[in-house]
Structure 1
Amino acid sequence: MPKVIKQGNKKIYDGYKSFQYLDAGEDYKEYELSKENDRVEPYVYPVSEDHEELVQTILEEDNIISMHEHTFVMPENLNEFYEFRRQGRDWTGYEALSQSGLDVIFENFMDGTAMVTSQAGWKWSDVIHDLGIRFSDIAHQDMVFKAERIADLYRAKKEGKIAFVAALESCTMIENELDRLDVLYGFGIRTMGIVYSEANQLGSGLRETRDGGLTVFGKQAVRRMNKLGITIDVSHSSDLTSLDTIEHSEKPVTINHSGARALWNSNRLKPDTVLKACAEKGGVIAIEAAPHTTITRNNLTHSIESFMEHFEYVANYAGIDHVAFGPDTLFGDHVSIHDLLTKQLSIKSSHGDNSFPKVKWVEGLENPAECLPNIIRWLVKKGYSREDIRKVVGGNILRVLEATWAK
């Protein structure tokens, strides 16, 4: 493996750590947190020196975007996780992000695991608390900033910063209150999933055995999100709810962290009918890397190779203009947290066939800091053109946001 050239597109980072404006032990309880970097042995996808030089040029010159991440740092001791969650305070991995090569990150917060008052998650007050605490921390530093307009997405690279797109994976917390969408937009939310696995007021999730599709209220919510400028996502929606949402939306819809069911029979992945409908509406499908999701019959062990097999399938089937990356990673032991939260996150019911070998982590795609550089290395090594790489690492996403956000 060649010596790695110094990582390009590093951000202007002053060493800030989350909540350093408060006093540990007095204002909040301290927990030992997972390492942001080097929690596991770092992995650099092997390429030639010439290819590595091109990788660094791409990182320096192009807009690099991850369409789905959770950039919080988990506690090292997962026996403390529920207690940690009830504190309602999450640390952001600023140092690692400064070296990630990312210009724009879609941050999905704690979603259904924002369990300040309930272990079932998705409570309105918990979600608002989660957003407020994280944004308070973000407001005390300068490298990461809340992106609310299209111009914010383009100025990030120019200023050596990272644009933080606030996202939620479900509309469950709005219950039957359409105006709560406006409230969330005011908080900075710019993309939302219709449903997270379990059915809600809007439609059916991928866990349901009877697929009822998008409800009447769901159609009203889709219209409101179109008017507000919230990008709609159907990653965790059932097949019929996904198709109904794509049909009823006046604007493109995303699948911001998933893969192709044709390669592995799992409800967590999308069938060709949904992939095709999403692309025909002008949307984008971003490939998921959370442990044990994007495996294939050819690559049963989850790795960057199985992940990129899903990418190539979607690129060939839906078109290179409609595929991107939404790795859905975090800072900490992702496999163990899935085991701990299997019920809350409907993981067991969405994996389908469980006859695959379990990995300790997904090599090369372990956290938000290492995913995109390794993905770009893979694309360069496989001979993808500079223009196609520019599309899939950011350009396709920007096109959809320009079509869905308020100007």
Structure 2
Amino acid sequence: MITKKEIKNKKVYDGYKSFQYLEAGEDYKEYKLAKEIDRVEPYDYPVSEDQEQKVQQILQEEHIVSMHEHTFVTPEDLSEFYEFRRQGRDWTGYEALSRSGLDVIFENFMDGTAMITSQAGWKWSDVIHDIGIRFSDIAHQDMVIKAERISDLYRAKQEGKIAFVGALESCSMIENELDRLDVLYGIGIRTMGVVYSEANALGSGLREPNDSGLSVFGKQAVRRMNKLGITVDISHAGDKTSLDTIETSEKPVTINHAGARSLWDSKRMKPDDVLKACADKGGVIAIEAAPHSTITDKHPAHNIESFMEHFEYTANLVGINHVAFGPDTLFGDHVRIHDLLAGKLSIKSAQKSGMQKVEYVKGLENPAECFPNIVRWLVSHGYSREDIKKVIGQNIFRVLKETWVK
């Protein structure tokens, strides 16, 4: 059987490594990084040979889109993580991405841990530095292209490349400055969450005990994003703030990495009324796979089955035209990163008792592994080519066509 290492939708990759145009030790401090490929035992979701042929055809012919990833590579020694983050320089896993089958990646950077000048993240100067360094690195290679218009998404597939969409999980860094949204758009950001887990000037995050909804400034910010062509996201917003954002936005809103609270009663998951409201406005809900997120009572140990249970529940609730995937993975030990950052990233407040801790999510461990296995699962469970085409890309494209500048 063809394995994930041999997918037909491989990209034109020339061996480039991040920042090879600079000199290690002179221009930056060098760290030993985690493995991009085979950090854990490779896993292919089991399918028949005939099904694998269908999988490979889909990967080759359709647009494969992940609505939420962190494509950076962590240090191998996570005791160095805070020092590493203070350097303000992140490496991208280009080699692994060349084998991922992905055509479009929404890169959400790591600005909750942008700690160049602060221990708290989300500071304006740190975020600008982080985005600028990553785009500088991207500008020195050819496989990944900075995507700013719909045409870039199609061009990437045609040229055997990957479209890299700039995204941020929160508007916290704009503080009370609307024009900062224009600045972020100008440097390439195309989707933003209104709030991360803690409250900001726009509204309340999911960890807050009281959610007062979208603020007056938050409504102004949502309208400005509509005008600019920035897709509005509510993945980390509180329930009332989420509903207010959907109502305020003149365009569809996304939930680009979450799951269904009806399956797992965690604040990190979305309740049915928010999922329905998002879909009713024309939006899309992308299912996430970050460790210990999309768990279910049936599958309390996080795996691809629990992840797809959230997908099927959401699809049955809102319709197949409004679901997609945003795995929210990275290159490195994601579980230990969460343990390290539990307080800073509000992870503990979003979890509940009853889950079984795993070392990693088998089959969905990093951005290069997820989509071949997602497509295998869909094919093996009898989904039609048309429905698979929708959930792995076309539903997202539809929303972008309604929210981006034409």
**1:153-164 superposed matches below 5 A:** 153-164=153-164
Q: Partner residue of 2:393?
A: 394
Tell me, yes or no, if structure 1 residue 337 matches structure 2 residue 337: yes
Distance 2:125 2:251 in 1: 30
Distance 1:116 1:366 in 2: 28
When normalised by structure 2's length, the TM-score is 0.99
Q: Partner residue of 1:240?
A: 240
How far apart are residue 3 of structure 1 and its match? Answer: 5.0
Q: Partner residue of 2:83?
A: 83
Distance 1:3 1:372 in 2: 15
Q: Partner residue of 1:359?
A: 358
How far apart are residue 75 of structure 1 and its match? Answer: 0.1
Tell me, yes or no, if structure 1 residue 72 matches structure 2 residue 75: no
CA contact (8 A) 2:2 2:52 kept: no
Tell me, yes or no, if structure 1 residue 224 matches structure 2 residue 224: yes
Secondary structure class of the residue paired with 2:275: helix
Q: Which amino acid aligns with 1:117?
A: T
Q: Partner residue of 1:318?
A: 318
Distance 2:114 2:380 in 1: 40
Distance 2:27 2:159 in 1: 33
Q: Which amino acid aligns with 1:362?
A: V
Tell me, yes or no, if structure 1 residue 32 matches structure 2 residue 32: yes
Distance 1:277 1:3 in 2: 41
Distance 1:8 1:210 in 2: 49
| Unaligned stretches of 5+ residues in structure 1 | none
Matched residues, number: 405
CA contact (8 A) 2:198 2:204 kept: yes
Secondary structure class of the residue paired with 1:32: coil
How far apart are residue 354 of structure 1 and its match? Answer: 2.2
Q: Partner residue of 2:404?
A: 405
Q: Partner residue of 2:109?
A: 109
When normalised by structure 1's length, the TM-score is 0.99
- CA offsets per residue over residues 334-363 of structure 1, 9 Å max, x none? 000000000110000011x22211000000
CA contact (8 A) 1:364 1:374 kept: yes
Secondary structure class of the residue paired with 1:324: strand
Distance 2:330 2:164 in 1: 15
Q: CA RMSD, aligned part only?
A: 0.7
**1:265-284 superposed matches below 5 A:** 265-284=265-284
Q: Partner residue of 1:166?
A: 166
- CA offsets per residue over residues 111-161 of structure 1, 9 Å max, x none? 211111111000000000000100000000000011000100111110000
Secondary structure class of the residue paired with 1:73: coil
Q: Partner residue of 1:205?
A: 205
Secondary structure class of the residue paired with 1:60: helix
Distance 2:167 2:2 in 1: 37
Q: Which amino acid aligns with 2:404?
A: W
Distance 1:338 1:203 in 2: 25
- CA offsets per residue over residues 13-54 of structure 1, 9 Å max, x none? 000000000000000001000000000001100000000000
CA contact (8 A) 2:9 2:60 kept: yes
CA contact (8 A) 2:45 2:377 kept: yes
- CA offsets per residue over residues 208-251 of structure 1, 9 Å max, x none? 00011000000000000000000000000000000000000000
Distance 2:304 2:61 in 1: 24
- Are residues 362 and 226 of structure 1, via their aligned partners in 2, closer, same or farther at CA, if it must alter by over 3 Å? same
Distance 2:214 2:126 in 1: 25
Tell me, yes or no, if structure 1 residue 23 matches structure 2 residue 32: no
Q: Which amino acid aligns with 1:394?
A: G
Q: Partner residue of 1:185?
A: 185
How far apart are residue 8 of structure 1 and its match? Answer: 1.5
Q: Which amino acid aligns with 1:359?
A: V
Tell which deviates more after alignment, 182-191 or 112-121: 112-121
Q: Which amino acid aligns with 2:398?
A: R
| Unaligned stretches of 5+ residues in structure 2 | none
Secondary structure class of the residue paired with 1:8: coil
Secondary structure class of the residue paired with 1:102: coil
Distance 1:3 1:196 in 2: 40
Distance 1:182 1:249 in 2: 17
Q: Which amino acid aligns with 1:277?
A: A
- CA offsets per residue over residues 261-317 of structure 1, 9 Å max, x none? 000000000000000000000000000100000000111010000000000000000
- Are residues 146 and 3 of structure 1, via their aligned partners in 2, closer, same or farther at CA, if it must alter by over 3 Å? closer
Distance 1:3 1:321 in 2: 30
Q: Which amino acid aligns with 2:392?
A: V
CA contact (8 A) 1:4 1:52 kept: no
Moved over 6 A (4+): none
Distance 2:321 2:25 in 1: 50
